[in-house]
């Protein structure tokens, strides 16, 4: 890109997921995101003026593994209670392998839940309130993450303060951008529809 000035770059790698994310702040008010994983490559860019300046920090829950953890833990508990109430040697020999198996499966589900439920910092669109940027907390390391996100928040705030368009124009621009991101596969269709409903409700 002619005249492109790269301000800061951060690369995050999740070896367990086989995923690499590259975030590039450029020309003071844009950010480019490249995501590479086993499903392919995805790249998109954003004008930081459409982002909410105050990101949220939370754990992204993997409900599939949480459900698995609950199921295997419950099965272990039920077998354990039954064994406690029927301590006969014959029953003991039959149930111990099942209890051991479910305990191992519960432990595996717990580990998968922790791996698949990372702490993330999310930046949402200003009006549609849908997630446009998701960064793994303290990756690649705590210091680099802090430097990058501090600069990102500063530039997002600065970009939001120099907007000269009125609210109606901003709503229309965000709606067009969200449609573009949906067509590019960044947002799911239902995420776009939810964001669109929020944006349309703000039209004056």
pLDDT at 134: 92
pLDDT at 203 over 80: no
pLDDT at 193 over 80: yes
pLDDT at 194: 94
Q: Report the half-sphere exposure of 63 (CA within 13 A, side-chain side).
A: 0
The answer to whether 192 and 178 are in contact (CB under 8 A) is: yes
Q: For the residues 87-104, what does the mean pLDDT come to? A: 82
pLDDT at 92 over 80: no
pLDDT at 58: 80
- CATH 2.30.29.30: does it fit domain 6-59+119-164? yes
pLDDT tens digit sequence for 110-160: 887 777 667 899 999 999 999 999 999 999 999 999 999 999 999 999 988
User: Which of 24-28, 72-76, 189-193 is predicted with the least confidence, judged by mean pLDDT?
Assistant: 72-76
Per residue in 40-55, is it b (16+ CB within 10 Å) or e — as a string? eeeebebebbbbbbeb
pLDDT at 90 over 80: no
pLDDT tens digit sequence for 16-73: 667 899 999 999 999 999 999 887 899 999 999 899 989 998 877 778 888 988 998 9
Instruction: Please report which residue ranges of 86-141 form alpha helices under DSSP H.
Output: 89-116
pLDDT at 2: 56
The answer to whether 79 and 98 are in contact (CB under 8 A) is: yes
Q: What is the per-residue DSSP string for 41-65?
A: EEEEEEEGGGB-SS-EEEE---HHH
In whole angstroms, what is the distance from residue 77 CA to residue 89 CA? 19
pLDDT at 204 over 60: no
pLDDT at 12 over 90: yes
pLDDT at 1 over 60: no
């Amino acid at each position: 890109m002619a005249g492109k000035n790269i301000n800061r770059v951060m690369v995050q790698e999740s070896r367990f997921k086989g995923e690499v994310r590259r975030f590039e702040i450029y020309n003071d008010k844009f950010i480019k995101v490249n995501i590479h994983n086993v499903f392919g490559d995805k790249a998109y860019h954003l004008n930081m003026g459409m982002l909410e300046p105050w990101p949220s920090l939370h754990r992204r829950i993997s409900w599939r593994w949480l459900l698995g953890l609950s199921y295997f833990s419950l099965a272990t508990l039920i077998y354990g209670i039954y064994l406690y109430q029927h301590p006969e040697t014959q029953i003991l020999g039959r149930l111990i392998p099942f209890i051991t198996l479910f305990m191992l499966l519960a432990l595996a589900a717990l580990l998968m839940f922790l791996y698949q439920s990372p702490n993330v910092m999310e930046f949402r669109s200003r009006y549609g309130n849908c997630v446009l940027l998701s960064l793994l907390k303290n990756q690649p390391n705590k210091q680099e993450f802090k430097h990058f996100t501090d600069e990102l928040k500063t530039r997002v705030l600065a970009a939001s303060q120099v907007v000269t368009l009125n609210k109606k124009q901003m709503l229309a621009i965000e709606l067009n951008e969200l449609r573009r991101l949906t067509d590019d596969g960044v947002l799911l269709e239902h995420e776009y529809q939810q964001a669109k409903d929020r944006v349309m409700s703000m039209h004056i």
